[in-house]
Amino acid sequence: MNQLMTASYHIETIGCQMNVYDSERMADHIESMGYQRANAVDAADLVIMNTCAIREKAEQKVFSYLGRLAPLKRRHPELIIAVGGCVAQQEGERILSRMPHVDLVFGTHAIRNLAQHIETIRHKRRRIVDVAMDGGAILEAPNAASAALERPSRFVTIMQGCDNYCTYCVVPHVRGPEASRHPDDILEEIRTLAHSGVREVTLLGQNVNSYGLKEGMCSFAELLRRVDQVDGLQRIRFTTSHPKDLSDELIRCFSDLGKLCGHIHLPVQSGSDRTLKRMNRKYTRKDYLNIINRLRSTRPDIAVTSDFIVGFPGETEADFQDTLSLVERVQLDGMFAFKYSDRPSAPASRFPEKISEPVKKQRLQVLLDTQELITRKKHAALVGTRQEILVEGFSKATVADNPTEPRTTPPWTGRTPQNKIVHFSDGNGNGPALAISVGKLVWITIERAFSHSLWGRPVERELDMPSAKGDHSDAS
């Protein structure tokens, strides 16, 4: 291996936003040892894979990637390969047996031990497994200033684990019981981020709605009100909310807090009461619809997205039709939908009446097609409106008005408060170019709508901008 002062590392991250946050914590520990980020995996002296076990496909991707590292290890025997995250927590020693070239397996509560383990492996070439759940997983935050200037939005984990035990889910088994960070630590992290140039934070937790309840700390709504007061911060988002714990106090935040974005991700999983009961979700279809009505009454422009599982054991065609009818009734802005797969330790893996793969595939496609029509209709309704965008960086998207035209790429991309992706030009060709930069809020006139994004151009004159804060829908 290279001398440590010139050693490099690569982190491959699979899974949710919390894994992204955890990877940042891993990077801080590694860089404190003198490692530098590698330009490519085959140039690294240390490779870490941060894994996800929530779905079977994600787990398969982990072992496929690890398998591809074996030839690299043969060429460079001193390369250190580490596996962290939920699959590491779930599989433990079995990863070392299955993958002889892996040096370190560390679970979701062991990130703080990462530097020590790497140092041991470097000097003693000893393979290590650390999957103890000691409750220390959320007591530290990543170096907030280290990468703040690279992007205007950052994730901030406010809690770890889950106490809900939905019958399909492994999170309580791989992340442990629910535990919340102290609000003062969260606020200090966010202040540091804002001071470093971050303009938007997304607060993360398996169920943010129950933040602080076990510890007797402030409620999640109270935390949001405190975050709203942080100087320099312009936008607040959060995910994920469990419908059973969504309080009126939290709903009021959508009208009271100027920085809280008008978007909520509220996983429902199924539109069938029978299936919801078997999933142990602890709410009904009627409860969910009532929550949607309360949210939209409080903030009419709120965007609602959700998660669905199709083909849950015992799901009948009538159950699936209940899901479709819920989607049609709620008119979601978007969804993540997945075929059910058995997960180790999850009770549903032992349920009878498994649904065949062809039926699951067919139902998933019908559900996705239904939502795409709704999303396209909602996006089309935004053409001609003005939307406030937080500039995130340069766009990689391309589009052409018709097949005979060259495909064009606008230079910028960002999101509306409702979490709609917008690609836009800087004004060249439509008058003077505007001063646009990452982290700036700009108003965009929406000119075209697609399934997954919107396209537009900046408002060019100050007089064109809406005068009222939050007025996102004036016609151009």
Out of 4-8, 141-145, 188-192, 270-274, pick the least confident.
Answer: 141-145
HSE of 398 in the Cβ direction (CA atoms, 13 Å)?
6
CA distance 449 to 113: 47
Whether residue 430 has pLDDT greater than 50: no
Compute the average pLDDT of residues 25-54: 92
Q: CB-based contacts of 384: which residues, under 8 Å, 6+ apart?
A: 445, 446, 475, 476
The model's pLDDT over 117-160, given as tens digits with 9 standing for 90+, comes to: 999 999 988 999 999 887 555 556 666 555 445 689 999 999 99
Q: 215-220: list long-range contacts, CB under 8 Å, 24+ apart.
A: 215/179, 215/180, 217/180, 217/182, 217/183, 218/183, 219/247, 219/249, 219/250, 220/250
In Å, what is the CA distance from 285 to each residue of 167, 322, 375? 18, 9, 22
pLDDT the model gives residue 342: 94
Q: Is the pLDDT of residue 345 over 90?
A: no
Query: Per-residue pLDDT for 1 more than 70?
Result: no
By the 8 A CB rule, do 40 and 125 touch? Answer: no
**pLDDT score of 407:** 56
Q: Which residues contact 448 (CB under 8 A, 6 or more apart)?
A: 383, 399, 454, 455, 456
At residue 411, the pLDDT reads 86
pLDDT-derived band at 405 (thresholds 50, 70, 90) equals low
Sign of CA dihedral 375, 378, 381, 387: negative
Residue 432 has pLDDT above 90, yes or no: no
pLDDT, one tens digit per residue, over 204-250 is: 999 999 999 999 999 999 999 999 999 999 999 999 999 999 999 99
Distance CA 79, CA 331 (A): 50
Tell whether the model's pLDDT for residue 344 goes beyond 50. yes
Q: What domains are there in the chain, each with its CATH number? A: 4-130 (3.40.50.2300), 138-261 (3.30.750.210), 294-379 (3.30.750.200), 386-464 (2.40.50.140)
Task: Report the SS3 class of residue 256.
Answer: helix
Measured distance CA(202)–CA(238) in Å, rounded: 5
- The average pLDDT across 185-213 equals 95
pLDDT, one tens digit per residue, over 325-342 is 999 999 999 999 999 999
Instruction: Calculate ∠ Cα 81-86-91, nearest 5°.
Output: 70
Other Cβ atoms within 10 Å of 103 Cβ, number: 23
Which tokens belong to 436? 């646009």
Helices (H), 338-430: 357-380
Instruction: Pull the structure tokens for residue 27.
Output: 């990077």
Q: Given a cut of 60, is residue 28 above it in pLDDT?
A: yes
Mean pLDDT of 276-297: 98
Percentage of the chain surpassing pLDDT 70?
A: 88
CB 62 within 8 A of CB 87: yes
pLDDT score for 148: 47
Q: Which pLDDT score is estimated for 399?
A: 62
DSSP 429-446: TSSSPP---TT-EEEEEE
Distance CA 255, CA 395 (A): 32
